[in-house]
Amino acid sequence: MKLNTDMQVVKINDYLWEIPPSEKPGMLVPARIYASAAILGAMDRGVFDQVTNVACLPGIHRYALCMPDGHWGYGFPIGGVAAFNPEDGVISPGGVGYDINCGMRLIRTDLSLSEVQPKLELLMTELFRRVPAGVGSRGFVNLSRRDFRDVMRQGAGWCIAKGYGWEEDLERIEERGCLDGADPTHVTDYAVERGINQLGTLGSGNHYLEIQVLSDKGIYDRATAAAMGLTGRDQVVVMVHCGSRGFGHQVASDYLKVFEKAMRRYGISVKDQQLACAPFRSPEGQDYFGAMNCAANTAFANRQVITHQIREAFETVFGESARRLGMQLIYDVAHNIAKVERYRDGEWLVHRKGATRAFGPGSPELPACYRGIGQPVICGGSMETGSYLLVGTDRAMQETFGSTMHGSGRTMSRAQAKRTVRGEQLMRDMKQHGILVKAVSMSGLAEEAGLAYKNISDVVGTVDHAGITKKVAELKPIGNIKG
């Protein structure tokens, strides 16, 4: 098999490959990639370079990992996972990403396709009106600086207290929608300016709000699906993909500059300046961690306010309360984050960059309703192909620090996609295939064409076969809102 690298890649099994530390000077641990042979063969050279660069970072534990949706990113590959010793390891913004706590949220309904289809145009128009999308979009929640500091500290809980959601929503959000250790004193004024008006907004790029349908044929594990409120029969659900917007981006930008200087003070050298880092226990490391948690909590709050807006849109269109429509939250999970987590072999600072937590059954961090089945994993595909719902496994806890992939993963740059596809034609084609699209920008829509992404079924099949996540259900789009 021809690969886009000169490094030796050793096959562990059909879905796991390893690059030994001998392949790059400075590697402290092996680099491992979860992929089928076909996916591995198509991976860009940057994945191999970046995952082995990560393997050189101080304090890294066991492996540098990359998931099958892996592709070139900033610092870490997107799809990258790495755990560090909190006492002598580092924290790196390049291992979290610019959009801190970019994540996924899935909401069920009791509605069927036959009930939604006649009102789909009206529903999409109402959602597009209520959920601001696009670069620089502003939300309807007016915050003072004091309010915004409370959002940074309290996350989704602040929203619930203000009436933007239901108390039981918190049980079904990773960490109940609030990470400990958020410290607004380490957030710059400019970051606050960028974020204070963006609560309840979708943003741009690959962020979306999607109406999806679950068919009986799309259920792989009926009992597990039922435990999450999914029964089939063309049931309609709503998926949201977004994060901390300009606020998180500015936090990342601010601390990358800080860390570039800090590395010289601590005598740290990296293979790539995009991996700028600082010792986790250092003042700089703790300052970033406090600011990052502020951005993460704001992202949880952002998705919570969007959920409130979605419920209100459904109420307007269908003339019933969201509770009568069965609009319970299934789960909300981050995929750009660094967290201190406890495993069988100790406590580690786990970076997930375009990778999702996938804790197995019995994990005490999970809500009681999911402790018997494992954590729900929401995997977004391209807007043309559909998405998947999975659950975490014991094997993930043993092999990947309870982590798995987050989506399908790009195969084509945004610029190349725009050269290949016209947004207007793509919108017409999708409508012919039964997918109604509302978009702020036609060029932005073209960037997210299905041909720019890996085959989602192949990516999901890889983690399922590897045993680090278990397939539960497949979801097909019928309406998509794009920034």
Residue 387 among known ligand-binding residues: yes
Query: pLDDT at position 205, please?
Result: 80
Question: Has residue 441 got a pLDDT over 90?
Answer: no
Average pLDDT over residues 470-480: 97
Stronger pLDDT, 54 or 482, i.e. the higher one: 54
Catalytic residue among 61, 186, 308, 406: 406
Residue 465 among known ligand-binding residues: no
- Treating both helix axes as pointing N-terminal to C-terminal, what angle do 283-318 and 245-266 enclose, rounded to 10 degrees? 170
Query: pLDDT at position 203, please?
Result: 86
Percent of the chain at pLDDT above 70?
Answer: 100
Query: pLDDT at position 98, please?
Result: 97
Average pLDDT over residues 407-416: 83
pLDDT digits over 443-463, tens only?
887 778 777 788 999 999 999
Average pLDDT over residues 273-300: 98
Multiple choice CATH, 10-92+102-411+453-482, 3.40.309.10, 3.90.1860.10, 3.40.190.10, 3.40.1160.10:
3.90.1860.10
pLDDT digits over 204-221, tens only?
888 999 999 999 999 999
| 23: helix, strand or coil | helix
Question: Has residue 315 got a pLDDT over 80?
Answer: yes
Residue 284 among known ligand-binding residues: no
Q: Which residues of 326-335 are buried (b: 16+ CB within 10 A; e: fewer)?
A: ebbbbbbbbb
Query: pLDDT at position 134, please?
Result: 76
Query: pLDDT at position 483, please?
Result: 76
Among the residue ranges 51-55, 308-312, 452-456, the one predicted with the least confidence is: 452-456
Q: CA–CA separation, 155 vs 295, rounded Å?
A: 9
Residue 335 among known ligand-binding residues: yes
pLDDT digits over 344-395, tens only?
999 999 999 999 999 999 999 999 999 999 999 999 988 788 999 999 999 9
pLDDT digits over 243-253, tens only?
999 999 999 99
If pLDDT is split at 50, 70 and 90, which confidence band does 1 have? confident
Query: pLDDT at position 215, please?
Result: 92
Helix H or strand E segment including 145:
helix 145-154
Catalytic-residue membership of 249: no
Token pair in block for residue 478: 């019928």
Question: Has residue 56 got a pLDDT over 80?
Answer: yes
Average pLDDT over residues 46-67: 98
Query: pLDDT at position 261, please?
Result: 96
* Averaged pLDDT of the chain: 95
Nearest Cα neighbor of 304 from 459, 174, 465, 449 is 174
Question: Has residue 414 got a pLDDT over 80?
Answer: no
Q: CA–CA separation, 483 vs 460, rounded Å?
A: 26
Pairing, β 278-279 against β 16-19 = unpaired
- 298, 247 in Cβ contact below 8 A? yes
Residue 241 among known ligand-binding residues: yes
Question: Has residue 115 got a pLDDT over 80?
Answer: yes
The residues spanned by each domain of the chain are: 10-92+102-411+453-482
CA 371 to chain centre: 21
Cα 470–Cα 472–Cα 476 angle in degrees, nearest 5: 130
Nearest Cα neighbor of 294 from 226, 232, 247, 330 is 247
Question: Has residue 67 got a pLDDT over 90?
Answer: yes
What length is written for the chain? 483
- 259, 117 in Cβ contact below 8 A? no
Q: DSSP per residue over 149-198, as a string?
A: HHHHHHTHHHHHHTTSS-GGGGGGBGGGG--TT--GGGS-HHHHHHHTT-
pLDDT digits over 145-195, tens only?
999 999 999 999 999 999 999 999 999 999 999 999 999 999 999 999 999
Stronger pLDDT, 134 or 324, i.e. the higher one: 324
- 76, 66 in Cβ contact below 8 A? no
Give the HSE-up count for residue 301: Cα atoms under 13 Å, Cβ half-sphere.
35
pLDDT digits over 252-280, tens only?
999 999 999 999 999 999 999 999 999 99
Average pLDDT over residues 112-121: 98
Q: CA–CA separation, 237 vs 331, rounded Å?
A: 12
Q: CA–CA separation, 352 vs 76, rounded Å?
A: 9
Give the HSE-up count for residue 182: Cα atoms under 13 Å, Cβ half-sphere.
23
- 62, 68 in Cβ contact below 8 A? no
Query: pLDDT at position 44, please?
Result: 94
CB neighbours of 385 closer than 8 A, spacing ≥ 6?
A: 408, 450, 453, 455, 456, 457
Average pLDDT over residues 273-302: 98
3-state helix, strand, coil in the chain (%, to 5): 40, 25, 35
CB neighbours of 429 closer than 8 A, spacing ≥ 6?
A: none
- 351, 368 in Cβ contact below 8 A? no
Q: CA–CA separation, 93 vs 107, rounded Å?
A: 30
Average pLDDT over residues 396-420: 89
What distances in angstroms separate CA 248 from CA 271, 423, 464, 481, one per listed residue? 25, 28, 32, 22
| 228: helix, strand or coil | coil
Residue 210 among known ligand-binding residues: yes
Token pair in block for residue 417: 């996609």
Nearest Cα neighbor of 302 from 165, 432, 400, 397 is 165
Cα 93–Cα 43–Cα 387 angle in degrees, nearest 5: 75
Residue 206 among known ligand-binding residues: yes
Q: DSSP per residue over 82-106, as a string?
A: EEE-TTT-EE-GGGT-SSTT-EEEE
Question: Has residue 464 got a pLDDT over 90?
Answer: yes
Residue 40 among known ligand-binding residues: no
Q: pTM of this prediction? A: 0.97
pLDDT digits over 16-37, tens only?
999 999 999 999 999 999 999 9
